[in-house]
Amino acid sequence: MKDLGPEKHILGMHISCDRSSGKIWLSQEKYIEKILDRFNMGNAKPVSSPLAFHFKLSSNQSAIHLCKNPTFHSRSKHIDIKFHWIRDVLESKLVKLDKVHTDENGADMMTKPLAREKLHVC
Residues 32 and 4 in one domain: yes
Q: Which element (helix H / strand E) includes 23?
A: strand 23-27
Residues 113 and 63 in one domain: yes
- Please report the pLDDT score of residue 65 as a whole number: 67
With a threshold of 0.75, does the pTM exceed it?
no
- Please report the pLDDT score of residue 74 as a whole number: 64
Residues 62 and 92 in one domain: yes
- Please report the pLDDT score of residue 31 as a whole number: 82
Q: Which residues pair with 25 in a beta bridge?
A: 16
Residues 37 and 71 in one domain: no
Residues 66 and 35 in one domain: no
What are 104-118's pLDDT values in tens digits? 766 666 666 666 666
- Please report the pLDDT score of residue 23 as a whole number: 84
- Please report the pLDDT score of residue 122 as a whole number: 36
Residues 59 and 86 in one domain: yes
Average pLDDT (11-34) is 83
Residues 20 and 61 in one domain: no
Q: Which domain holds residue 20?
A: 1-43
Residues 82 and 118 in one domain: yes
| Cα gap 69→77, rounded to integer Å | 14
Residues 11 and 59 in one domain: no
Give the residue with greater pLDDT, 103 vs 80.
103
Give the residue with greater pLDDT, 46 vs 32.
32
Nearest to 95 by CA among 52, 55, 37: 55
